[in-house]
Amino acid sequence: MCGSAEAVAGWCRGVGSTHKIGLRRFVNKTPMTSLFQLDDETKRLLTLDDFLHGLTIHEFVEFLAAKLSSRSGSDGAQPLDQLDPKPYIRTFEACVKELNRLSEECLAKQTKYEKIAAVKQTDHFSNVLRLAPKASKLNSQFAQLDLKVRRINADIRPLGDKLTETNSLKENTVTLIFLTKCYNEFYTKKQAPAELVKMPRGRRAVALNQLLKLSSKLSSNDMPQAKATLSVIQEHCNRFEIELLNEFHEMDNSKNYRRLQELSSLLFLFNDGENIKQFYINKHPVFSNFQSTELNVEPTFWKNMCDASFSQYQLDGLTLAMLQEIEDILTKTEYDTIQQIFLDHTRAVLLAFVDRFYRELIRNRVQLLLRVASSYSKLCNLRVLHLLCNQVNQLTQRLKAYFGEKEVDLGVELDKYHAALFQQHLDKDAYFNLEKENLSELIGSFTARFEEKNEKVVNKHLLENKILHSKDASTSVASEYDQDVFLDAPQRENSTRRLLSYKRSKKLTSISKFIKNMERSSLRERFTRTKVRGGSDQGARVVSDSFDQDTGDGSEVSLVIAEKILKAVVESLTRAIELVPSKINEYSLEMFDILIMSYGQSYLAIELENLYYNGILMQQQKLSSFFGSSEINLKFVEQISLVCVQVYLLSIVVKRFFYPLILSAEIKNRLSLMFNSYLQDVELGLNIIVDELLELIERNMKNILSGQAMDDFQPATQPTIDRTETCDKMLQFLDRVFRALYDHLGFNPTLKMDTIRRILASLLTLLINHFTRFRVNSNGSLVLTQDVIHYISIFDAYDGLDDIKQRFSILRELTNLFSCQPELLKDLCNEGQLIYLKKSVLKQYISRRSDFDPNFLQGV
């Protein structure tokens, strides 16, 4: 009612402030006697009990307009100036009048009910004040009664406990008297008393159990014939139990589950089902089927287990079949039957099954396989141990999950049985000591022939000493060819200058950069990259073949050996994770030590020493000999790619297998430091090899240029040769070098291009300095120009050298100094790339003109 009243009041205020003001001018012109009367439907909406029937003000106005339109026959589509406003004005005026009436009625009711509410409130407060003392008295009485009840309970509880104790003593006394009578009958008459024999079998089972315990205690005293009495009682108990077991067997054959339940309950009352559990378990043929002490394994089983390269090994079929049979018995064949027969004793029977399976069948098979495996090899022993542990663990986890679903709690016992099976093999680092010995021996067997073949080279420690010296050296001395011909001013940083900066780069090969590049694409994707035009991708094929080819006797470097080593490490690490997960932090670091020492610092280090000695030092000695030639055998460069790939594979193993396993931040930092230190040594070794290779190439280029005849650029007549003999030799030499680099370093494009850039930087400097040694006449300038053109044209035969070709254009500009008019020399020296050269170099070129005059140098 109040809600309707408030709605009416609000509606009236809204209408009064909007519609009524807008309609006033029309209402004043219309006589009050002619107001439009509201129909019954509209009046029902304007009541306090159900005001507007849930309509909003806007919906109510639309409702009135619709009724007016239907009465006048209008469809609402006429223009506003054609509508008759009078019906609308009259209707709204009637509504306002009705609303005013409702408002007055509402206010009157509100006043009335407010007065009634005030009276009721006063009456309520009066009652509360009048009843307060009575309520307080009742609360006090309740508290006193509650205290008395608590005191009474405190007095009654000891009496109840004493009564319970007395009843228990009475029952025990009765039982003891009965047992004493029975024992006396056995003691004196050597037979069971009639009262015991005639008892119900349930009570008889309990009595016999208690009598057996009593007689066992009495037999330990010095009482005469106590032991004989114990024997008589035991014999009687055995007959009673055998009778029940035979009956159980008969009922089991006939599948009489009701009787089986009764018998199982009796036997558990008698001796906790000690014999019925074994009686029920022994009937299964699984024990006779898998109790044999013969191996019965496949002919290739031990061969595969001993083969380090064979990775698809698994347990023998007999062991797998036994484990599967055990699982089927516990989860499929017998579980429902056991639960139906033994009811509340289901867990005890299942535990007896588990105990028998683990302690007998599984243990015997595990010990037999491990004993034979240890006679073959350490690897065989470790693999069999790992497989057995995994398979038994999987069986244990499946049984735990199944029994958990059935709400049979055997999880703790199953874990204990599983742990007990392998405790002697995993305890006190016994397993891991064997694992470390096996891993070291395996890696040693893979690398033995290679180490033996290169023993003399390794013992020289040539590269190792250079690496140590490189770590200590803080500066490097520029070689004789590194004579800067460019200005020291900042403006000399042009493209040619950047090319020459490669000559003094101390860090050429970056292992970390190579590893990152390799991680962006697979090995196979890189086998087809960076080809020589019209040639073949030898570098990719070398690496690809190294994965697939037979390593022979293992005396040569091969990725197959690297793959075997890394697979052996991963296999050992996997075993350690699954067998001793709690110690994986420490064990991972020890395995990493073995990996770095046996593979990184032995196999790869020997490979680098061999590269340095045979690829660099031997050729340096040959070049320095009296009969030295400019021929360089760059076949050894392909081994650089193999080294890089092996380091990349090593980094994959470290990042993907070692790092994720180590949770200790301290151990992880130690491993990172060790690995980064090793990568630094490898990088230094490769840099030394590549640096000295570049020196070797430069010495060959110097030898070739030193053979240039002094009169090659002073022909008396027009030249008829396309290029000089020295230029031809240099081009042939560079072609062999570049083709070898493209062939053998195609797998590592970054190293390939950096090496070529350094060779070209050296060549450019050599050529700039070389041409200053010769006097050049007008005909000779043509010969020199032809040589320069041929030097630059070598870039056309190879991919990726177009930008470097542009930088060699400075040679063209230098040759113009020999052929241009003297008056143009000043302008020529101050434009193009010649502005970056030292003035002394430009003056040397000008001074070698056959028509040289000191005046030519003015303004240069």
Mean pLDDT across 672-676: 90
Total residue length of the chain: 860
Determine, yes or no, domain membership for 490: no
Domain end residue (candidates: 412, 445, 478): 445
- Alpha-carbon distance values, 757 to 13, 705, 761, 788, 808 (Å): 94, 19, 6, 18, 12
Domain match, 412 and 461 both:
no
Q: Which tokens go with 852? A: 């040289």
- In the block, residue with structure tokens 């303004």: 859
Q: What is the pLDDT of residue 573?
A: 94
Coil, helix or strand for 30?
Answer: coil
Contacts of 731 (CB under 8 A, 6+ apart): 723, 790, 791, 794
pLDDT band at 410 (very low <50, low <70, confident <90, very high): very high
Whether the CB-CB separation of 689 and 612 falls below 8 Å is answered with: yes
pLDDT in tens, 182-209: 877 887 878 878 788 888 888 888 888 8
Q: Are the C-beta atoms of residues 822 and 856 closer than 8 Å to each other?
A: yes
Is there a domain that residue 154 lies in? no
Q: Taking residues 665-680, what's their average pLDDT?
A: 89
Q: Which amino acid is at 783?
A: V
Give residue 629's identity as a one-letter amino acid code.
S
Token pair 């008889």: residue: 204
Between CA 414 and CA 393 the distance in angstroms is 10
C-alpha gyration radius of the chain: 53
Question: What's the pLDDT tens digit per position in 343-380?
Answer: 999 999 999 999 999 999 999 999 999 999 999 999 99
- Kindly report whether the global pTM for this prediction surpasses the value 0.85: no
Q: Which amino acid is at 460?
A: K
Q: H helices within 190-200, ranges in order? A: 194-197
Are 637 and 591 within one domain? Answer: yes
The pLDDT of 81-85, averaged and rounded, is: 70
Q: Are 314 and 388 in contact (CB under 8 A)?
A: no
Query: Quick one: the chain helix, strand, coil %, rounded to 5?
Result: 80, 0, 20
Compute the distance between CA of residue 539 and CA of residue 533 in angstroms, rounded to an integer: 14
Confidence of residue 44 (pLDDT cuts 50, 70, 90): confident
* Average pLDDT, integer, range 786-799: 88
DSSP assignment of 74-111 equals --S-S-GGGS--HHHHHHHHHHHHHHHHHHHHHHHHHH
**What is the CATH number for 785?**
1.20.58
**Percent of the residues in the chain that have a pLDDT greater than 70, as a whole number:** 83
Nearest to 587 by CA among 597, 573, 571, 570: 573
**Does a structural domain hold residue 146?**
no
What pairs with residue 776 in β-bridges? Answer: 849
Domain end position, chosen among 131, 152, 170 = 131
Looking up tokens 């012109």 gives 29
> 171: part of which helix (H) or strand (E)?
helix 86-189
DSSP structural state of residue 35: P
Burial class (CB in 10 A: 0-12, 13-18, 19+), 837: buried
CA distance 713 to 711: 5
Q: Is residue 178 part of a domain?
A: no
Section 307-318 average pLDDT: 90
Whole-number pLDDT of residue 599? 86
User: Is pLDDT above 70 for 524?
Assistant: no
Structure tokens at 329: 């018995």
Residues 258 and 315 grouped into a single domain: no
Q: Are residues 390 and 458 in the same domain?
A: no
Beta-carbon contacts of 212 under 8 Å, excluding residues fewer than 6 positions away, are: 233, 234, 237
Q: Is residue 492 part of a domain?
A: no
CB-based contacts of 363, cutoff 8 Å, min separation 6 = 421
Q: Give yes or no: residues 260 and 298 share one domain.
A: no
Find how far residue 59's CA is from the centre of its chain.
Answer: 65
- Kindly state the tokens that stand for 302: 């031990």
pLDDT at 595 over 80: yes
pLDDT tens figures, 502-516: 444 445 556 666 666
Q: How far apart are CA 400 and CA 381, in angstroms?
A: 28
| Domain boundary, last residue among 696, 716, 737 | 696
Reply yes or no on whether the pLDDT at 435 is more than 90.
yes
In 10 A of CB 266, how many CB atoms?
A: 22
Tokens of 450: 């290679």
pLDDT of residue 348: 92
* Shared domain check, 80 and 17: yes
- What is the count of structural domains for the chain? 5
Residues 672, 756: one domain?
no
3-state secondary structure of 460: helix
Is 580 inside any structural domain? Answer: yes
Mean pLDDT of the 161-178 span: 71
Region of poorest pLDDT, from 224-228, 521-525, 826-830: 521-525
Helices (H) and strands (E) counted in the chain, each on its own, are: 37, 0
Beta bridge partners of 837: 486
Range scoring the smallest mean pLDDT among 162-166, 176-180, 550-554, 839-843: 550-554
Among the residue ranges 36-50, 426-440, 487-501, 630-644, the one predicted with the least confidence is: 487-501
Domain membership of residue 24 (yes or no) is yes
Please indicate, yes or no, whether residues 665 and 543 belong to a single structural domain of this protein. yes
**Could you tell me the pLDDT band of residue 72, with boundaries at 50, 70 and 90?**
low
At position 18, the amino acid (one-letter code) is T
Question: Using one digit for the tens of pLDDT, what is the confidence trace for 677-734?
Answer: 888 888 899 889 999 999 999 999 999 999 999 988 988 888 777 889 999 999 999 9
Task: Give me the percent of the chain exceeding a pLDDT of 90.
Answer: 27
Same domain, yes or no: 655 and 782: no
Contacts of residue 220, defined as CB under 8 A and 6 or more positions apart, other chains included, come to: none
User: Residue 293: is its pLDDT beyond 80?
Assistant: no
Domain that holds residue 625: 454-469+512-527+536-696
Query: Quick one: residue 820, left, alpha or beta (phi over 0 = left, psi -120 to 50 = alpha)?
Result: beta
Question: What does the alpha-carbon distance between residue 666 and residue 362 come to, in Å, rounded to a whole number?
Answer: 41
Could you tell me if 442 and 660 are in contact, meaning their C-beta atoms sit under 8 angstroms apart?
no
Same domain (yes/no): 255, 309: no
Helix axes 257-271, 274-282, angle to 10 degrees: 130
- 343 and 410 assigned to the same domain: yes
Predicted confidence band at 260 (pLDDT cuts at 50, 70, 90)? Answer: very high
CA 817 – CA 780 distance, rounded (Å): 12
Q: Residue 118: which H helix or E strand, with range?
A: helix 86-189
Rounded distance between C-alpha atoms, residue 780 and residue 771, angstroms: 12
For the chain, give the mean pLDDT.
Answer: 81
3-state secondary structure of 837: strand
Would you say residue 562 has pLDDT above 80?
A: yes
Residue 792 scores a pLDDT above 80? yes
C-alpha distance from residue 48 to each of 60, 63, 95, 139, 717 (Å): 16, 19, 14, 48, 131
Same domain, 17 and 104: yes
Please check whether residue 10 lies inside any domain of the structure.
yes
